[in-house]
Structure 1
Amino acid sequence: MDLLPSWDPNWKRRYNSPPDDLINNFYVPAFARSNTYDRAVGFFSARLLAAIAPSIDRFVIHGGKMRLITSPAHLNDEELEAMGKGEQLRERIKQDLREAIAKPIPNPVLADRLKLLTWMVATGKLDVRIALREHARSYALFHEKIGIFADGDGNWMTFTGSPNETLGGARLHSESFPLHRSWANEEQRAYAQEERDRFEQVWGEQVEGISLWKVNDWIEEPMRSTFGMREPSVARSRMYEFDEPAISDIPIPDDATFVPSLPDSLVLREYQKSAVNDWLLAGGRGTFAMATGTGKTLTALAAATQASIHIAKSDRPLLVLVIVPSIDLVGQWRNDAERFGFRPAVCHGTLRRGQEEYLKSVFSAARSSHGRRTEMVITTADSLTPRSANMGPASDHFLQRQLARHSGHLLVIGDEMHSLGTAARLAALPKNATMTLGLSATPKRHGDEVGTDALLEYFGKPVLSISIKEAIYKYQALVPYDYLPSPIELTEEESRQYRLISQKIAMAFGAGDEQAAETHIRARTRLIQHATNKRGCLRQLMAGGLRNETHQIIYVAEGKDPESDFFQLDETERMLREDFGMRVERYYGETDSERREVLQERLASGDIQALLAMKCLDEGVDIPSARIGVITASTQNPRQFVQRRGRLLRRDPDNPKSHAVIHDFLVMPPRPVGEPSDSEKRLIGAELSRAAELADAARNSEALFSVIAWAYEYGLRPAEHTWMNLTHEGDMEEWVQ
């Protein structure tokens, strides 16, 4: 990287426009040779930075950061005095910023460059603050103008006075400013030092009478949704060296569009292309029943993109509503959607007034009678569903009210669609959807045929089904795995409790008291999940070598041990830390989203050896670095183990793995004396059918023989449990049409 002095003698002591071209003769070479840019200015336009963005690509690639202090662009001193210091002023500034960002982008080159600026705001590479002169009862405009470019070798240069940081100021108006270079001579350095110190004092809020407001939180979401986002590009950083046409020379289309497109870097597998085509041929209705890790999200975004392009030909807007089961997936979907050029708006949890106003503008744009644009809103199933059963589309529920007003094209994408099958969530799904797309590795809801049928009715029949075996061995979308089940015997006391609870279950069913039976079944499940010998088995695994391994996910039971009254999460963490000196961290429901991202990165780097989880890693979260899974407890719901297996089998592009290993703890109740009860058969049948499913698709599929042998010991018969026949292809994960 060249340093600032390398442009000598081309740096001038004063720049005057005209005749100087401030963009090409000053800003472009300055950014190309700097790693920090600080600017205090009266008025600012992101479009000026966009005009010089090729050099900003290089600037950011070399670690560059920008700090910007500016005044509100649409207020004068009289208006500021009239508004005083109340909340009205803050809301007015927020609204002005949103409106400025929402202005039409005149050409695709500017649009691409504004994506880079959005990335800089989102990653903290561009920090923007509003400055105001503070008086006793009101504020006034901030008029100071200081600019500082600095390189990584201790050189800096400053300029003061004009211009304002706008495209018009740099290109159209008469502007003039002196330049002070720290390396030129002592006098120049003294000027440059004073101006640099002044900026630092204002930035650090050390100047009495000047107030600063941080605005990145105000502008990030509108910028993401209006411009999209991209990382800096080496290729783009060289564009200005090859006679790229000036922005003023690029023709401006009559109607700027906001339609996504397939990324150049996207490589879809043949089954993904077929899924998109079949979904379109079905009229934009259907389900992708794809094994976890086979690319459901990207396939769905490709389908949404093709639908957007098709609808844009009729000069009509499209609204895409993405519903995900958890907050973790909101960020993942947003990042993936931005690759396609979508500008997703996020709607979940309690919305602030500013967030509601911004979302209203998104829905309003999608309700336009014409226009080639696609708006996307990402929400969670909980946020879409009114809390009160009496709340309908015309209620006070913000999202439901906005959706009810929509009368145009609407595509609803249900990620992990099985989570939408409850009565309340089904009722919350928009009835005015013109297209629907369901996604799930396990579309069938465990023990809920009514909910399953309702989901199928809403989203449409599967247009693609990919089983776990196909994903691993046919398409090689997932890595193969070894399955190592460990039978866990109950202690004598646990066996006594197990038989006692089983008798209570039988008596409750005999008396027709299903509520009491369910209570006893939950108690027996808790007894099994917290079986004492699980700790000994986990200890043996760690002592046998797992203590030295990394990239592990260890699933533990929820709640307290019924005997010790200790949480299993606490006990497991203590044992691994204190007895084996392992680096482990918790990853559970109370872990906030930022903390989760940090933990995922630390697991990938090997900084921590294992994550301890209960259920929050069951759906949708991508942790491709995980290679070893230890399932000490699980429910009887097939969806849970399918999702957990999928977490481990994802391919890791950053650190490829040849295979994964799954250790599964199977609690074996006491062997029945005589014929086991129906309740016992259901319990052991569910536990062993899960084990059989995992064994059947594993590299060491011979583990299935051990599982079947255990089944015979407990009196299970192939006529009742078809997975014991060895030839049956299970449909837990694959939707059989």
Structure 2
Amino acid sequence: MTTHPNGLRALSLATSYRSNRQDVVKDFYLPTFSVATSYSRAVGYFTSTSLALFARGLDTFTERGGNIRLIASPHLTEDDIVDIERGYDIRAVLTRATERELDADVPDTVLDGLGRVGRLIAEGRLDIKLAFVEKANRVGIYHEKFGVFRDAVGDLVAFTGSSNETLGGLAANFESIAVFRSWVDGDTVRALEYVRDFEDLWANQTPTLQVEDFPDITRDRLIKLGQERDTPLSAHDDALIPTPAVVNEVTSLAIPDWLTVRGYQRQAVEAWLGQRGCGILKMATGTGKTKTAMIAAAQIANLQRQREEPLIVLIIAPQKHLVDQWITEVEGFGVRPIAVYESSQKWVPLVEEQLSQARLGQRPVVAMVATNMSFAGEKFQSILARISQPLMVIADEAHNLGSAAYRSSLPSNATYRLALSATPERWFDDDGTDALINYFGPIAFELGLGEAITMGALCRYNYQPRLVELNDVETQLYADLTTQIAKCVAAGESVNDADPNSQLGYLLRQRAGVLGHAEGKLAALRMDLNARGHSWFQLVYCAEGTRPAPQGDPRGPNQLRDVMHLVGNQLGLAAHSYISDTPRADRKNLLRRFSSGDDLRVLVAIRCLDEGVDIPDARTGYLLASSSNPRQFIQRRGRLLRRAEGKDRAEILDYLAIPPADAPMNFDIERNLLTRELERANEFAKLSENYEATLDALRPLKERYQLMHL
């Protein structure tokens, strides 16, 4: 074979490159690009920033007729993966994933690079395909990293190693690659193996891998961007080394420019830092605890960066939809976190890889967001125990972690500890509350609901208590339960400290069920909904389960179904249920439709809107469920008081079921039980805009049971 004087053989290439010995970009990539005519690359990630790098330093290469084929792994969210596994159209999911990358907020330098990519595609110089693992109906991430350069006379240079075509992989990280030259004895077979592997990938003939063409919609957007941003590359852009303006997906956490830090958020972070990075933020629902925690994490990340140490951030949230919300928040601060839930096959490799990079100084921040269940699982606990770098634990709705099942799983090796909760005190569980304080530290900052409303962090509200009498059947069942409760109290048990698993605990739940499912609430709800049928952004909280019935009778109707029938069929209002069985993807769609203000008027929920769901547009809430648990009614009120554009006030309608005045009852027991109901109503009333009106509405009941002091 004739050696081309300007071909690959003319280069003095090493057998390997490592960041401590050479500059991988200058010493390997630039020389090979300067003489090659084709470049085939299989690489781990497709992102807007990594794709933009392909536009840099390629002018001479493409002017010689050089062509690039790229196979990359799309960034699939958990929802994308679930959709593929459920059989949704793969092309539609990939289009959604790639469009999401192009919709990301990136600087002009990246847009210029993407425009150059679009021109390369339009000229036929760049072709892209997307790959992911598909095995046993499960979807995984394609992590392979290798490439092949070819010159005009057919010589090959194949390479494989740790680097991705990203800013971190090419310029910032500590990387190494092995090189195989087709004209060197001992290298030829390996070089040809990589050529064959790539061709098999390109033809989608690799077992367990699915390789798809780049989505047409995204391809057309890139070509259009190339037409709109016909910006010539400046002289310093003739190198593959990216400029600092390109965003690195693994840079440290930082407060984004678009975020205005509120004064009380700054005070909260300073107070927490004043406790050496440990403590609890007791902040009213809706005041921005999530962003406050991320501001704190950004401050710690900056401190660790100054110390030239990485930071491992672990965020623990009770439910999957809250994990998804946290992921969006963390991405807004500059780092893409790993979702730790569902199949460990999805997240364990990513967690292990990023923790390894952190140990080697290649990654300044590793962020993980886990559900309580996955966090406490054996696999994740094993990983946590091996972390030796500075670890920051952020616990969302931290009161949940005070249970005996979870508190023993909290990592003892955490340097920084931050708990978030509007109600960190666990209801009737002093041991759990003490355990939380012992682990996270004392309350560092507190922002109550009244103060939050006064300062404008939450909106003002009106409170309308609705007193609903039990019917004859409900009254009899209620009286029977009250009699049994009285016997337990006479035997020395306490209503206020009842064990949930005791007979008294069961009786109290049954009594609460009678009140929560009282049939008269539906009639009252009908009147209130009729009066507000023109309004948008309405929430109905239903009681759990079915209506209790006398012993031996079948259990009564389900309130959720009754309300849906009332709202949707009888009143003709656009409504949808939002319950624990609602799939995550459907939940997001429902919240989007609800917030649009022109689709769903009413969401009907049970408990899954209690914690953490961000639904600021909600303006009217109907509380059918009778909960005396402070956490539940505080969370539900908080859902309605979040600020939103065009929202200056919320309205809460609270349906309180009571026995008729002439019902035969044990006065002392009934008075004790109703005290808890009225304490909730009084808590709602005292901060409302119409406090005097609520006092008038509740006065007859208070007078009957001699509770005017409440």
Asked if these proteins are the same fold (TM beyond 0.5), I'd say: yes
Whichever residue aligns with residue 521 of structure 1, its letter is L
Q: Spell out, residue by residue over 1:432-455, the C-alpha distance to the aligned partner (whole angstroms, 9 max, x if none).
A: 111100111111112222211211
1:454 to 429, 435, 441: 435
Tell me if structure 1 keeps the 8 A contact 2:294–2:330: yes
The corresponding residue for 1:498 is 478
Distance 1:581 1:610 in 2: 11
Relative to 1, partners in 2 of residues 1:505 and 1:340: Cα closer, same or farther, differing over 3 Å? same
Relative to 1, partners in 2 of residues 1:141 and 1:403: Cα closer, same or farther, differing over 3 Å? closer
Whichever residue aligns with residue 268 of structure 1, its letter is V
In the alignment, is residue 379 of structure 1 matched against residue 359 of structure 2? no
In the alignment, is residue 684 of structure 1 matched against residue 674 of structure 2? yes
The corresponding residue for 2:519 is 532
Please list every run of at least 4 consecutive aligned residues from structure 1 whose deviation after the TM superposition is greater than 6 angstroms.
16-24, 49-52, 58-61, 64-67, 99-102, 107-111, 209-212, 672-675
In the alignment, is residue 438 of structure 1 matched against residue 419 of structure 2? yes
Kindly report which structure 2 residues correspond to 1:52-67, keeping only aligned pairs within 5 A, or say none.
53-55=110-112
Quote the offset at 1:675 in angstroms. 9.3
The corresponding residue for 1:169 is none
Quote the offset at 1:611 in angstroms. 0.8
Whichever residue aligns with residue 478 of structure 1, its letter is L
Distance 2:116 2:70 in 1: 22
SS in 1 for 2:408: helix
Tell me if structure 2 keeps the 8 A contact 1:42–1:142: no
Kindly report which structure 2 residues correspond to 1:570-649, keeping only aligned pairs within 5 A, or say none.
570-605=561-596, 606-649=598-641
Tell me if structure 2 keeps the 8 A contact 1:42–1:143: no
The corresponding residue for 1:278 is 271
Relative to 1, partners in 2 of residues 1:100 and 1:297: Cα closer, same or farther, differing over 3 Å? farther
Relative to 1, partners in 2 of residues 1:504 and 1:100: Cα closer, same or farther, differing over 3 Å? farther
2:547 to 529, 541, 561: 561
Quote the offset at 1:602 in angstroms. 0.7
Q: Spell out, residue by residue over 1:236-290, the C-alpha distance to the aligned partner (whole angstroms, 9 max, x if none).
A: x86957959515465789xx97321111111001111111122112100111111
Q: Spell out, residue by residue over 1:624-682, the C-alpha distance to the aligned partner (whole angstroms, 9 max, x if none).
A: 12111111113211111111111111122xx4212111111111234478995454233
Distance 1:289 1:58 in 2: 47
SS in 1 for 2:344: coil
In the alignment, is residue 69 of structure 1 matched against residue 69 of structure 2? no
The corresponding residue for 1:486 is 466
Whichever residue aligns with residue 316 of structure 1, its letter is E
Whichever residue aligns with residue 542 of structure 1, its letter is L
Distance 1:401 1:210 in 2: 33
In the alignment, is residue 549 of structure 1 matched against residue 549 of structure 2? no
Tell me if structure 2 keeps the 8 A contact 1:553–1:626: yes
Tell me if structure 1 keeps the 8 A contact 2:200–2:206: no
The corresponding residue for 1:263 is 256
Distance 2:447 2:467 in 1: 30
The corresponding residue for 1:165 is none
Distance 1:413 1:377 in 2: 10
Gaps (5+ residues) in structure 1? Answer: 1-15, 29-39, 73-84, 112-138, 146-201, 217-230, 387-396, 725-737
1:522 to 509, 521, 534: 509
Tell me if structure 2 keeps the 8 A contact 1:41–1:144: no
Distance 1:242 1:41 in 2: 19
In the alignment, is residue 507 of structure 1 matched against residue 472 of structure 2? no
In the alignment, is residue 660 of structure 1 matched against residue 650 of structure 2? yes
SS in 1 for 2:621: strand
Whichever residue aligns with residue 68 of structure 1, its letter is I
Whichever residue aligns with residue 528 of structure 1, its letter is L
In the alignment, is residue 308 of structure 1 matched against residue 298 of structure 2? no
Kindly report which structure 2 residues correspond to 1:325-336, keeping only aligned pairs within 5 A, or say none.
325-336=318-329
Relative to 1, partners in 2 of residues 1:109 and 1:381: Cα closer, same or farther, differing over 3 Å? same
Q: Spell out, residue by residue over 1:698-720, the C-alpha distance to the aligned partner (whole angstroms, 9 max, x if none).
A: 121223423652453242446xx
Tell me if structure 1 keeps the 8 A contact 2:547–2:557: yes
SS in 2 for 1:702: helix
Relative to 1, partners in 2 of residues 1:410 and 1:617: Cα closer, same or farther, differing over 3 Å? same
The corresponding residue for 2:97 is none
Relative to 1, partners in 2 of residues 1:92 and 1:645: Cα closer, same or farther, differing over 3 Å? closer
Tell me if structure 2 keeps the 8 A contact 1:695–1:703: no
The corresponding residue for 2:183 is none
Kindly report which structure 2 residues correspond to 1:142-153, keeping only aligned pairs within 5 A, or say none.
142=199
Quote the offset at 1:573 in angstroms. 0.7
Q: Spell out, residue by residue over 1:350-389, the C-alpha distance to the aligned partner (whole angstroms, 9 max, x if none).
A: 322x532222112333445x56711111101122224xxx
2:457 to 465, 468, 477: 477
Quote the offset at 1:583 in angstroms. 0.9
SS in 1 for 2:679: helix
Whichever residue aligns with residue 415 of structure 1, its letter is D
SS in 2 for 1:288: strand
Distance 1:426 1:624 in 2: 31
The corresponding residue for 1:715 is 705
Tell me if structure 1 keeps the 8 A contact 2:467–2:658: yes
In the alignment, is residue 297 of structure 1 matched against residue 290 of structure 2? yes
Tell me if structure 2 keeps the 8 A contact 1:676–1:714: no
Relative to 1, partners in 2 of residues 1:577 and 1:377: Cα closer, same or farther, differing over 3 Å? same
Q: Spell out, residue by residue over 1:417-438, the C-alpha distance to the aligned partner (whole angstroms, 9 max, x if none).
A: 1111111111111111111001
CA RMSD of aligned residues (A): 4.3
Distance 1:641 1:512 in 2: 29
Quote the offset at 1:68 in angstroms. 3.3
Tell me if structure 2 keeps the 8 A contact 1:483–1:694: yes
Distance 2:382 2:628 in 1: 38
Whichever residue aligns with residue 54 of structure 1, its letter is L
Quote the offset at 1:311 in angstroms. 1.4
In the alignment, is residue 345 of structure 1 matched against residue 354 of structure 2? no
Distance 1:385 1:311 in 2: 27
Tell me if structure 2 keeps the 8 A contact 1:416–1:440: yes
Distance 1:584 1:101 in 2: 51
In the alignment, is residue 464 of structure 1 matched against residue 445 of structure 2? yes
Tell me if structure 2 keeps the 8 A contact 1:557–1:569: yes
In the alignment, is residue 417 of structure 1 matched against residue 398 of structure 2? yes
Tell me if structure 1 keeps the 8 A contact 2:323–2:371: yes
SS in 1 for 2:533: helix
Relative to 1, partners in 2 of residues 1:717 and 1:648: Cα closer, same or farther, differing over 3 Å? closer
Distance 1:67 1:250 in 2: 22
The corresponding residue for 2:687 is 697
SS in 2 for 1:547: coil
Quote the offset at 1:214 in angstroms. 3.9
Identical aligned pairs, as a percentage? Answer: 32
Relative to 1, partners in 2 of residues 1:658 and 1:462: Cα closer, same or farther, differing over 3 Å? same
Whichever residue aligns with residue 519 of structure 1, its letter is Y
Relative to 1, partners in 2 of residues 1:509 and 1:70: Cα closer, same or farther, differing over 3 Å? closer
Relative to 1, partners in 2 of residues 1:91 and 1:628: Cα closer, same or farther, differing over 3 Å? closer
Q: Spell out, residue by residue over 1:370-409, the C-alpha distance to the aligned partner (whole angstroms, 9 max, x if none).
A: 56711111101122224xxxxxxxxxx1110011111221
Distance 1:264 1:539 in 2: 47
Whichever residue aligns with residue 610 of structure 1, its letter is V
1:428 to 401, 406, 409: 409
Distance 1:266 1:345 in 2: 23
Distance 2:614 2:533 in 1: 24
Relative to 1, partners in 2 of residues 1:93 and 1:705: Cα closer, same or farther, differing over 3 Å? closer
Relative to 1, partners in 2 of residues 1:214 and 1:685: Cα closer, same or farther, differing over 3 Å? farther
Whichever residue aligns with residue 199 of structure 2, its letter is F
Distance 1:490 1:434 in 2: 54
